[in-house]
Structure 1
Amino acid sequence: MYTVDISLHQTLKGHQNPIYIVEEGLEPHTVFTAGNDKGVVEWDLLNGQFKRILCAVPASVYALHLLRETGLLMIGMRNGELWAVDVDKQELVKKVKTDIGAIFAIKSVIAKNELITIGEEGVAYVWSLDKFELLYRFKVSDTVVRVIEPNVKMNQVAFGDKNGYIHLYDLSDYKEIAKKKVHTLPVTALMATDTYLYSGGRDAKLFQLAHKDLQELNEITPHMFTVYGIIPHPIAPVFVTVSRDKSIKIWDRRSLSLLKNVSIERGYDSHYLSINSAVWVADKLVTAGDDKLVKVWNVSIRT
């Protein structure tokens, strides 16, 4: 069993509207945030201050994904546009667009030199990472898909849709392997490890699933409302969940035992509205949400 100590390091203020996504920065002490404001913001965690607006955007941002190898930040928007922005040069390198609706999720598969996006129309787009040319386009679901989770080791990619289904595809040819209704409400979070696939939903449930056939191996109710993120620690076998119920929880990955519960009610200077996103930056956890705040947490994990 692990012991977890957590304390608030700093609160970053500046957004005027809800923050939907936080992503790691190109430098080890920076993060990007975006949401209902008309810009993507970069923060410096060393001095706890706003660094710059990386770029102005024409619509709300639902997805950010850093391509560390090329120094590009991918930005997925409500209007269906996908931007590739050079972080160092602060330049728009490429702009492409989906057919209909918002982009809710972006993931890269570096081994295949591919980028996968999906969103409101339930159609997956696979782009080349060098020229961002469209390679494949296939329908995953008849409804909204909000999450993608590739697993290169298992050669799979999972999608979670609004009807509670998880769709499992072969990563080599994008043929469907399995499809299963896991949640009673929309799937809102996915995390893959070498051993299991984890899913969280608007039904406030979290499932531990078998990679091969999505068999349900374990189930917990980690939060009172929607699970908006399941984020693995970079080293330790623990993960974080964040939720609409305004709490942050840290779990043992194998046993699903609760290690730490962080909320205002627990005496922490935490978020007072929905927490929509989180990312690990070394030993710090960065969270953001509807209260327009970015919180940076010191986290110590020991056996």
Structure 2
Amino acid sequence: MQRLEVEKISNFGGHTEGLYSVVHFNDNGKFYTAGADGFVVEWNIAQADQGRLVAKVPNTVYALCPLIEENQLVVGQNTDGIHLLDLTSGKEIKSLKLTDQAVFSIKRFKNELFIGTGDGWLIVVAIDQWAVTKKVKVSEKSVRSVAIDPKKEIVWTGSSDHLIKGYAIDTLSEVRELLGHENSVFALTVTPDAQFLVSGGRDAHMRIWNLDGFIETQKDIVAHMYTINDIVFRADGKYFVTCSKDKSIKVWRTEDFRLLKVIDKARHAGHGTSINRLAWIGEDIIISVSDDHSAAAWKVAGL
């Protein structure tokens, strides 16, 4: 049996309210956090006490999207659309008012942003034009998660109406609907080999959907005690992590979707409140952000 050892290597404090987003750039140890206080902060794993304030935005941030080649960051705000930040200068370059509801998810594919909003829209923004080029009404409820299948060029959405829908990237025509979750779909990701779509939701279930054909749920796993907030794969696709309102992080093996490790407060001095988002940096570093206002870095040995 594969045995993993977990070490908490850093804690990152400084935010004044709960954190809802974390992203990283190119596995270089640098990452960005944001949440209810509107602060966008740059951190380095090696220097946990030296966070750099990149920007302060007026409202809660639920979504960040890195533009790696441009060294820019897209910030999705509650009630105020998206903002484009230059990370070298820390200045806002552009903004775009999309909705008076929350922006819950932003994903990049090529030169477009795919954005899920609280009023049920999937909105496409061309990065170079910084303008809306396409949009489709996905649900009468919130679109909580967005994932990209780069091989089949399909964008997937998970919504508070319990449904997962797939749309052709070029036309936004609906190509598939997946039924199974019994509550809001908060987490959605495509495996790096594009074979599976993995979803998680308020029903605490993780579902694995086979994208090679029209087979419905490949697996249905009761993965946590409460809402699953995020699902993130290591770059090579061999392992992934989930996090939950139940205050735990879980490490899984993709080959057989086997649970390998639970990281929690009792065993690892983990977060004491809901863990909302994750990032996987390099081979063995996991970053988590929580309602407890902090981020943490975990080193996982034995992968």
TM-score normalised to the size of structure 2? Answer: 0.95
Deviations 1:113-156 (CA, angstroms, capped at 9, x unpaired): 11111111111111111121111121111110110001111221
* Contact 1:180–1:214 (8 Å) recurs in 2: no
Per the alignment, in what secondary structure is the counterpart of residue 48 of structure 1? Answer: strand
Q: How does 1:93-108 map to 2 (within 5 A)?
A: 93-108=93-108
Equivalent residue, structure 2, for 1:242: 243
For the pair 1:79 / 2:79, whether they are aligned, the reply is yes
Distance between the aligned counterparts of 1:95 and 1:236, measured in 2? Answer: 34
Task: Supply the distance in 1 between the matched residues of 2:18 and 2:204 (Cα, whole angstroms).
Answer: 21
Structure 1 window deviating more from structure 2 (134-143 vs 60-69): it is 134-143
The alignment status of 1:142 with 2:143, answered yes or no, reads: no
Q: Which amino acid aligns with 1:175?
A: S
Structure 1 unaligned residues grouped into runs of 5+: none
Q: Which runs of 4+ in 1 moved over 6 A?
A: none
SS at match of 1:173: coil
Do the aligned partners of residues 130 and 2 (structure 1) sit closer, same or farther apart at CA in structure 2, a change above 3 Å counting?
farther
Higher alpha-carbon deviation: 239-248 or 228-237: 228-237
2:181 maps to which residue? 183
Matched to 1:153, the amino acid is K
Gaps of 5+ in 2: none
Alpha-carbon separation, structure 2, partners of 1:213 and 1:96? 37
Residue among 108, 124, 127 paired with 1:126: 124
The equivalent residue for 1:51 is 51
Per-residue CA deviations over 1:159-192 (Å, capped at 9, x if unaligned) read 0000210011112221101113321010010110
The equivalent of 1:256 in structure 2 is 257
CA distance in 1, matches of 2:115, 2:50: 29
1:67 and 1:183 map into 2 onto residues whose CA distance is 32
- 1:206-217 matches, within 5 Å, as 206-211=206-211, 212-213=213-214, 215-217=216-218
**CA distance, structure 1, for counterparts of residue 39 and residue 265 of structure 2:** 29
**What residue number does 1:151 align with?**
149
Contact 2:81 2:100 in 1 (8 A): no
Alignment of 1:27-42 (within 5 A): 28-42=28-42
1:2 Cα offset (Å): 4.2
Which residue is 1:70 aligned to? 70
TM-score, structure 1 normalization: 0.95
Query: Structure 1 residues 155, 25: closer, same or farther in 2, change over 3 A?
Result: closer
**What residue number does 1:219 align with?**
220
Give per-residue Cα distances to partners, 1:195-242, cap 9 Å, x unaligned.
111100100000011224461111111100000011101235111000
Rounded Cα–Cα distance in structure 2 between residues aligned with 1:39 and 1:264: 26
* Structure 2 Cα separation of the partners of residues 67 and 2 of structure 1: 36
Count of aligned positions: 299
SS where residue 183 of structure 1 aligns?
Answer: coil
Residue 89 in structure 1 maps to residue 89 in structure 2: yes
SS in 1 for 2:37: coil
Q: Is the 8 A contact 2:15 2:39 kept in 1?
A: no
